[in-house]
Structure 1
Amino acid sequence: MATIKDVARMAGVSTTTVSHVINKTRFVAEATQKKVLAAVEELNYAPSAVARSLKCNTTRTIGMLVTKSTNPFFAEVVHGVEEFCYGAGYTLILCNTEGNLSKQRDYLRMLAEKRVDGLLVMCSDLDEQLLELLERQKETPMVIMDWGPESPHTDKIQDNAELGGYVATKFFIEHGHKTIGCLTGHSEKTACRERLKGYRKAMAEAGLEVKEEWILEGDFECESAVAAAKQFIAMEERPTAIFCFNDIMAMAMISTFQQAGINVPEDISIVGYDNIDLAPYFSPPLTTIHQPKRRLGKSAVEILMQRVKDKEHAPQVFEMIPELVIRKSVKKLN
């Protein structure tokens, strides 16, 4: 098996230069890079991650806990994380928790055993039990993305959820809607409470009544949206518009309504949240609140890298600003 000395000898450079090229830790002239990479390819050289971690006290790996990477919102964020990790010469270990406490505990143990340099947490199931597990990982640099409370040991990225809820509801009101319902996410989650707060604020400003029976709780998955749509269908008096707390639930609700002969936006208007890649191609194209998902992933890794370099810096909270993307799922009544 080839060693770093073999590569250096073939490329006519020092082992230090080979190390910088492979690890992308310092600028190396393009011509030199090409010679080193050609030698690496010809010799089929692969540096020992174990040796490097012992020497440098870094594994150049990042762990990421995510509820379900098949969910389009999480998938797009993960893509942003992976893209940035690749560019920085880091390996990403992705762990799907699926809300299972045993899997969360086992993954955290496994990531600790692998000595990951840092941890990203993006779990819609971020409850007290998982927070307690994370609190035990105080020595591991960590960024919590979007769902959890601030912690003295972690940095945090969140969307301005109250503003997002306000903008979505105000758009309905500006289009003449006065009876507006909501399909929320988990009611105990901070982001969901803030989005609902924004909805109530817009309704109050317009002097409109909030009917509590029109605020239904979902879980950010399709099945809960189908059940909620059936509840709305069964109501004698339905709202003319519904604000869904993510795009997947909005799409499942539209599909269920249409199967029941209720057309969107002719009979009922829908606004989603996230602006996933599928949103413009759905029927009708979905009006939604945009979250910059790939930038969210990139920012999370950048912040985590800062924490890896300086574990003592004060916790940071970075806020993403939501934006309305107007398409074809809202009918103008005025």
Structure 2
Amino acid sequence: MDIDNFLKKEDSISIISNPNYQTIPFQNENFHEIEDKEGIITFIDGGNTEIFSSLNFNLSFIRIASCTYDNNKLKEMKKEEHLILITTEVENNTLYYKPSLFTSEFELVKELPRIDAKDSSISNGIIYGEISKVVDITRRLLEIEFSEKVNSKNIILDGNLKSENNLIKEALKNKNIYALSKTNRLFTNNGDALTVYLNKIASKLGKNKWFYYPLITPNENEPNIIVSKLHQSSKHIFKIEFNKEFNPELINILSKNSIDPVFLGYPYGLVMVDKLARVTNNEKEYFKFKYLSKMKNKEELTQYLNTINAHEILDNIL
């Protein structure tokens, strides 16, 4: 097999079409050089660990953290921690997952909107989605909510801004938030990898560090997309999503934060906030011991946990 020929693709004319947006034909003038500018930027991320989980309930620990940089110097770090308990309830023969937030001492903070167990964001609509997926949705909602607690207009989340969940879409509506994803599944109209294709064109145009915009015209309540190379020596091109108005200044500030030699072109702020939000295995075991010791009927808890842990038992045997 001639791999070189296999990798060759005909020239593309746009990103592949999608029901969520209208494509814009590729144009050289949509490549923009990134300037060296400083400013204030905040990175937000969340971490979580499962303490107990069964078919009909889930108890998890969530930590949300932020790191704010001013002129590329760490200015402020914040974090908050919650327990989330997800239970089930049935109404009109429809199963719902009901999340509630608690303090670490199990004092109720607030009830959160319930989610249909067959919601398309956690299920294929035929079988019930896993209750643990509601934890991920709740974590994202808390990350978005946390953006209101930091003094910065430039907010970057880790991962994708796009979501199939209506609660997340609603939470993002009036907020100008960006998200940078380490990986993507973006293709051109002829099946080429979008980031690779755009980087080839940028190299031919003599662009060192750049962003490409506009790429699409998103439908209502769908995020817009930028593709960017944040450092001239980086070997990675990233997808950046935003949901309101595009501010080129943010890309310039983000580039300034992407100079760490360990991962050139990737914002160090995202590395830092990931460390701050991450929940360790030691913490997980501590929480298990703490809450298990408070339970009176451990045998009944074990029966509930056994509804979904058969795979774990087999994995340990094998």
What TM-score does the superposition give when structure 2 sets the normalisation length?
Answer: 0.26
Q: Which has a greater percent of strand?
A: 2
Higher relative contact order (CA 8 A, sep 6+): 2
